[in-house]
Amino acid sequence: MSVEEQNAIIGQWIEAWNKHDLDAARGLLAPDYVRHDANMPEMDGPGAALEFIAGVLSAFPDLRLRVEQLIVQDDLVAVRLFLQGSHRGEFSGVPATGREVAFESMEVFRVAGDKIAEQWVVLNALGLFQQLGAIPSPA
């Protein structure tokens, strides 16, 4: 698969998040998709991923993802993302605060064929929960 094709798949993934298009997201995931996340248990399968995405988008209905950097090597695509949105619903036990949040995430995708087969995520959860007021910020 070419670099351009891999870029396009990840671009479609970001667009699916930004448009809240779960059907488009489902179509991009391999049947054996796995999400490895430094902040939560491993997620197996498209169903678990879509449930997670729906929950995040419910909590942050105006969430926007922006690609800051993208690097492709072999079947891996590394992406540095900037995320921004308003906390309007419960998220990880934190009731809606109405606060605006902005944070970064580093994600690596393994693309197999024209599907996302695997994803590794390291996002600034500490900064996110500090912005939500769930964890005190340093003085």
Q: What is the CATH number of the domain that holds 22?
A: 3.10.450.50
For the chain, the domain total comes to 1
Domain range spanning residue 95?
3-131
Copy the structure tokens of residue 73.
């090597």
Residue 137 lies in a domain: no
Q: What is the pTM of this model?
A: 0.93
Position 45 scores a pLDDT of: 97
Burial 89-123 (b: 16+ CB within 10 A, else e): eebeebeeeeeebebebbbbbbbeeebbbbbbbeb
Q: pLDDT (tens digit, 9 = 90+) per residue, 78-98?
A: 999 999 999 999 999 999 999
